[in-house]
Amino acid sequence: MALEHHNEESFFITEEVDAGLIAAGHVFELPPIVCAGRLYDVLERMTDVKLALQPGEIADQERKHRQNKPCSAS
pLDDT tens digits along 48-63:
999 899 898 888 989 9
Q: Is residue 15 over pLDDT 70? A: yes
C-alpha torsion sign, points 22, 27, 33, 37: positive
- Determine contact, residues 21/13, Cβ cutoff 8 Å: yes
33 alpha carbon, distance to own chain's centre:
8
Give this prediction's pTM.
0.42
